[in-house]
Amino acid sequence: MEGYAVVANDGHHMGRVDRLADGSIVVEHGTLHHRFAVPHELAHVDEDAKVVHLTVAKELLHDAPKVHGDAIDKAAVAGYHGYEE
């Protein structure tokens, strides 16, 4: 799934899949390559089109917990998206 395009539920292109880690999809976006994580449960993968469709709107993703380096704050990602850790 690495490199697949990521699209929010409102049709906005959000970037590309950087990697899968700790039950989350790490998305890289922007010219500065910022990364954020989304729980895998909020994604639908279209293998044929190589696209990940999220059930989250673009506006919510802008404030999602950022990923720095290899570490993902699972509790922050789960809490932000309404899942209990």
Summarize pLDDT for 28-80 with one digit per residue, the tens. Answer: 998 778 899 999 999 999 999 999 999 999 998 888 889 988 888 888 998 99
CATH superfamily of 5-80: Photosynthetic Reaction Center, subunit H, domain 2 (3.90.50.10)
Tell me the H-state helices in 28-68: 58-62
pLDDT of res. 30: 80
Between residues 51 and 84, which one has the greater pLDDT? 51
Starting at the earlier edge strand, list the strands of the sheet with 34-39: 34-39, 24-29, 13-21, 5-7, 51-54, 43-46
